[in-house]
């Protein structure tokens, strides 16, 4: 009966790689059109992203942000919903982190402040997702629409708060005061220097470890706890879940708070780890890129870590291209767009031929072994 005889290494390994390869081919055409040798461009990107500890630092810094925003989409997707509000949830999470650092920075040591700012990032991001969640659960307003709207509301609200409350008087730019240095999350190069390893300065900070831990925790939550069981049941068959005594409204609200909280964690990396102040537009589309990351990573935490690394590479390698060949900065967006196009919108283009090829090869192999058995 089973028609699903495709092994996992094909689904999660070969097919995504083939999709990325298609995207790379399409990108090569773009470079060719721009009169840039595609191979040299690739070389420049790889060197820019992985060629030095400086490049690595940036790539992993971006990866950290993408892990958080990617998980924010994926965990909600496991419940069968589409959280497009990562942008706003991360922004509001930054407000939480910023308030903790501004208020407590210099008064308490980092090991006391950090847990509080982690909680604040989660709570602020989560509460921002709670309103659309509540509207969906109790009033049936579609979460795609409401979370998009809440991105705009978050942006306007942060404008207002920054200008009226957080901007130190007498400054021109719309940003908060710089946090007390004691509240900063240590940079990777500083931490490694303590144990005698020297790497270049980069924005990469210790929140990367938190991102990796959170990815693991999300996997554990989804596949090892009964709450995760309920989330996955609802995501795959809502009426089945209801039959099983799972409350749909409660699960919607719980998973959206978690999703928003995960998006909020991005602020640990960007605000507490790097900028050290709340700036206008600090999320800078990373919330939206999280959607692509989740798509690419098949909504699985481990896939998201890998997809985040890829998008980190694209972001960092793409900005190197911009220096090297003085192409428009938006080349990064073009590259990301191609990856999304081929691994998201066109994912079945490669899937069916590869699966068919595999089935043909494997049935041939089986036949020959049967023939051998017959001969023997």
Partner 1 sequence: MTAQTQSAAEYALELRGIDKHFGAVHANKNIDLKVEKGTIHGIVGENGAGKSTLMSIIYGFYEADQGDIAIDGRVLKIKDSKTAIASGIGMVHQHFMLIQNFTALENVVLGAESGELIDESLDKARAELNRLSEEFGLSVPLDQPVEELSVGFQQRIEILKALYRGARILILDEPTGVLTPQETEHLFKVLDSLKAQGTTVILITHKLREILAATDNVSVMRRGEMVAHVKTAETNQEDLAELMVGRKVLLQVDKGDSAPGDVKLSVHNLSMTDSAGVKRLDNVSLNVRAGEIVGIAGVSGNGQSELLETLAGITPVDSGSIDLNGHTLDARHPMNPSQVRKAGIGHIPEDRHRMGLINTFSAYEAFVLGYHRNHEYNGALTMKQAAIIADCKEKMERWDVRPQDPYLKTANFSGGNQQKLVIAREIEQNPDVLLIGQPTRGVDIGAIESIHKRILEMRDAGKAILLVSVELDEIRSLSDRILVMFDGTIVGEVPADKADERTLGLMMANIVPDEIKALQAEEPA
Binding site for partner 1 (CB under 8 A): 1-5, 220, 224-226, 229-230, 232-233, 236-237, 239-245, 247, 359, 363
**DSSP state letter for 136:** I
- Nearer to partner 1 (CB atom), residue 168 or residue 240: 240
Match 């999703």 to its residue by tokens.
Answer: 259
CB of 285 to partner 1, least distance (A): 32
CB of 80 to partner 1, least distance (A): 11
- Nearer to partner 1 (CB atom), residue 281 or residue 363: 363
Which letter, b or e, does each residue of 77-87 get, where b requires 16 or more Cβ atoms within 10 Å of its Cβ?
bbbbbebbbbb
CB of 323 to partner 1, least distance (A): 46
CB of 147 to partner 1, least distance (A): 24
CB of 239 to partner 1, least distance (A): 5
Q: What is the DSSP string of 145-195?
A: HHHHHHHHHHHHHHHHHIIIIISPTT--SSB-PPPPGGGSPPBHHHHHHHT
- Nearer to partner 1 (CB atom), residue 2 or residue 198: 2
- Nearer to partner 1 (CB atom), residue 201 or residue 224: 224
- Nearer to partner 1 (CB atom), residue 330 or residue 356: 356
First-to-last alpha carbon distance for the chain, in angstroms, is: 30
What's the token pair of residue 51? 């060629």
- Nearer to partner 1 (CB atom), residue 13 or residue 240: 240
- Nearer to partner 1 (CB atom), residue 5 or residue 142: 5
**DSSP state letter for 52:** S
List, in sequence order, the alpha helices (H) in the chain.
8, 15-33, 38-50, 53-77, 86-104, 110-134, 143-161, 188-194, 207-224, 226-236, 238-243, 248-264, 266-267, 286-296, 301-325, 331-340, 347-375
CB of 243 to partner 1, least distance (A): 4
CB of 158 to partner 1, least distance (A): 36
CB of 250 to partner 1, least distance (A): 10
Spatial CA neighbour of 97 closest among 118, 111, 112, 115: 118
Neighbours of 269 (CB within 10 A): 31
- Nearer to partner 1 (CB atom), residue 171 or residue 237: 237
The residues, ordered by sequence, that sit 6+ positions from 315 with a Cβ below 8 Å of its Cβ are 58, 59, 62, 332, 336
The phi, psi pair for 175, rounded to 5°, reads -160, 160
């Amino acid at each position: 009966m089973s028609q699903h005889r495709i092994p996992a290494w094909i689904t999660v390994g070969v097919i995504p790689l083939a999709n990325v390869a298609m995207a790379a081919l399409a990108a090569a055409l773009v470079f060719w059109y721009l009169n840039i040798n595609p191979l040299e461009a690739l070389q420049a990107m790889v060197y820019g992203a992985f060629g030095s500890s400086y490049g690595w630092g940036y790539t992993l810094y971006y990866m950290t942000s993408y892990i958080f925003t990617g998980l924010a989409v994926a965990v909600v997707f496991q419940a069968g919903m589409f959280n497009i509000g990562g942008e706003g949830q991360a922004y509001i999470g930054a407000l939480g982190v910023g308030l903790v650092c501004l208020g407590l920075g210099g008064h308490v040591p980092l090991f006391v402040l950090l847990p509080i700012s982690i909680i604040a990032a989660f709570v602020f991001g989560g509460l921002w997702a709670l309103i659309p969640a509540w509207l969906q659960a109790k009033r049936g307003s579609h979460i795609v629409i409401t979370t998009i709207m809440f991105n705009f509301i978050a942006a306007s609200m942060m404008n207002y708060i920054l200008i009226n409350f957080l901007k130190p008087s007498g400054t021109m730019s719309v940003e908060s005061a710089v946090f007390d240095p004691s509240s900063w999350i240590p940079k990777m190069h500083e931490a490694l220097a303590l144990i005698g390893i020297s790497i270049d300065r980069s924005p990469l900070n210790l929140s990367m470890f938190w991102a990796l831990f959170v990815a693991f925790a999300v996997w554990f939550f989804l596949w090892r706890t009964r709450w995760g069981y309920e989330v996955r049941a609802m995501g795959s068959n809502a009426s089945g879940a209801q039959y099983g005594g799972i409350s749909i409204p409660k699960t919607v609200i719980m998973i959206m708070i978690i999703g928003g909280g995960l998006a909020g964690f991005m602020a640990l990396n960007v605000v507490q780890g790097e900028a050290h102040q709340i700036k206008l537009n600090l999320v800078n589309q990373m919330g939206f890129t999280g959607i692509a990351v989740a798509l690419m990573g098949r909504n699985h935490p481990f896939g998201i870590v890998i997809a985040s690394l890829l998008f980190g590479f694209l972001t960092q390698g793409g900005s190197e291209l911009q220096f090297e060949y003085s192409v428009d900065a938006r080349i990064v967006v073009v590259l990301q767009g191609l990856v999304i196009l081929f691994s998201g919108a066109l994912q079945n283009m490669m899937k069916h031929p590869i699966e068919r090829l595999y089935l043909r090869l494997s049935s041939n192999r089986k036949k020959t072994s049967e023939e051998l058995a017959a001969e023997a």
